[in-house]
Structure 1
Amino acid sequence: MRYLFRGVMVGDGHRRAGTPLRDAQDEAGVPPGVWKGRGLAALGLKAEDVVSERQAELLLGEGRHPDADRIERELLAQGESPARARRATVLGRPIEHNRSPKTGKAKERTPWLAFDLVFRPPPTAHIAWALMDETHRRVLELCDGIARDKTLAWIEESVAQIRSKAGGRERARVKDGLVVAVFRHYESRATESRPLLHSHAVVSVRARRPHDGKWGNLSADSLMTRIVAADTLYTLLFMEEVMARLGGRGSRAK
């Protein structure tokens, strides 16, 4: 997950080692990430809460509850063993199971703990965004956010499936919804960055199964096979929002 912590969370730039997350975001000129998705309630989080570095590290890097540190402290204070306290914070299958029992080393296939979905307006729109005045830029950013969130809701309701039964052979709809960390960026990732409005929606692979409420893994296939459809839907929703708010002005700079 180095790409997430060194790039996505700080505007696709290069974060210097030891730089606090918020300082790095301020230097890059990007807002802090925020949580999205109906699956947040099961974790005690709310939509639009700021994504802290520790929360992202725990959930997206280790597959554990984003408030695992507090949970562990409370359980230890109640007399639980360190091993049981830690296990209580793990969502689904511990990633330690990916290690060889003989050598203790990680196997070649490391489990995915998140999917990075990128939402980007059409080329004409982000060029217009770069040339517009501040007021019109904010309107396009609003349109982008609405279209992105509606597309994520569609993925939650109609696309996302979770593995169930032994070996993950069966698929089912998720019980609550998804847990997503959204990071808005204003420049491209190229060596010579250029204005480029876009968002990264980092979807946690962890979700709850409908039949028992336990945590499991999303099916990668269910998401990857709908990427083009999601991109098309986002673009249509974005253009609808632009036309509703700017009419024909959305295609030219002011």
Structure 2
Amino acid sequence: MLTPAVVRSASGAASYYAADNYYTDGQATEASLWVGEGAAQLGLTGEVGREPFEAVLRGELPNGATIPAGANGKHRAGMDFTFSAPKSLSLLAYVGGDARLLAAHMASVRSTVGWIERNLAETRVAKDGAQETVRSGNLVVALFQHDTSRALDPQAHIHAIIANATRGPDGKWRAVHNDALWEGYSTAASVYNADLRQRVEALGYATERVLATRVRDSVTLVVDDAVRLERVAGRRDGAKTEASIIEKATARGDRVPEKQIALELTGRVRERSIELEM
């Protein structure tokens, strides 16, 4: 799922997005990362530092350029495109221990950001006394990988913070024209879902397409590996139980709904005080 939002404060954003992860406890690779052609042109690479992140959101770029304030005299910090992995992926990664899924999720987000740059990144330039919207093809994006929801449930999601700065065709740095980003985010969500589906299937998982809304779809992992996940959870609470609904369904060759996995694991990981979101 892809959810767009406005970043309203540079300092507030730096504090929120750099918050510690609950489950990975700072051990996740690529917890933060600069991506995008615009970031590369500004020399922003690797881990996202607080000071350069705040500065970029204020419109103060590393090359000395400054993004002018808008018509209201205020500078827009940017946008937050949040890529949320399916609940089943989060369970398999954080409870089942398959870190490959987190790497696949990060790779899908990076690939989708590239698509967004090529197709939705725009700015406005003066031409013949009027403002004209033109494709810029580059963005300055900071990725922050988080592992929990607001309720501290396991939820793999990545915030892609799109700074309000892009290099125009004439080489000058300007504000991003957001219209295409708002209009095209549902298409970007489909690109992300398709890419993620391909990557997790390459890891040996089966997936199915689930209609989430009228305009967006999502990917649900069909847990063919449910017995292994069940055993991992069983070891964590030390309980020996009869064959679960998941094991029985797997033995019959039935598909196991994502919500059923969450229901069963809720009772099996209580030592970690996890209440899984339905």
TM-score, length basis structure 1: 0.70
Relative to its length, the structure with more strand (as a share) is 2
Encode CA deviations 1:192-239: one digit per residue, 9 max, x unaligned. Answer: x111001001011111110x2111111111101111111121111111
> Runs (4+) of structure 1 moved beyond 4 Å?
26-32, 96-99
Residue aligned with 2:81, SS:
strand
Give the Cα–Cα distance (whole angstroms) in 2 for the partners of residues 159 and 230 of structure 1: 9
Q: Which position in structure 2 is the counterpart of 1:59?
A: 56
Shift of 1:96: 9.3
Conservation of the 8 A alpha-carbon contact between 2:81 and 2:161: yes
Q: Which position in structure 1 is the counterpart of 2:44?
A: 45
Select which of 162, 166, 172 maps to 1:214. 172
Encode CA deviations 1:60-106: one digit per residue, 9 max, x unaligned. Answer: 1x201247xxxxxxxxxxxxxxxxxxxxx23331x49854xxxxxxx
Mark the runs of 5 or more structure 1 residues left unpaired by the alignment.
14-25, 68-88, 100-109
Q: Which position in structure 2 is the counterpart of 1:76?
A: none
Select which of 187, 190, 193 maps to 1:232. 190
Superposition CA RMSD, Å: 2.7
Conservation of the 8 A alpha-carbon contact between 1:10 and 1:28: no
Q: Which position in structure 2 is the counterpart of 1:128?
A: 92
Shift of 1:12: 8.0
Give the Cα–Cα distance (whole angstroms) in 2 for the partners of residues 32 and 126 of structure 1: 16
1:151 aligns to 2:107 (yes or no): no
Q: Percent identity?
A: 26
Shift of 1:11: 4.7
Conservation of the 8 A alpha-carbon contact between 2:122 and 2:135: yes
Give the Cα–Cα distance (whole angstroms) in 2 for the partners of residues 248 and 194 of structure 1: 24
Give the Cα–Cα distance (whole angstroms) in 2 for the partners of residues 194 and 63 of structure 1: 35
More contact order relative to length (CA 8 Å, sep ≥ 6) = 1
Structure index of larger Rg: 2
Residue aligned with 1:127, SS:
helix
Aligned length: 200
Mark the runs of 5 or more structure 2 residues left unpaired by the alignment.
1-8, 208-220, 229-278
Amino acid at match of 2:166: A
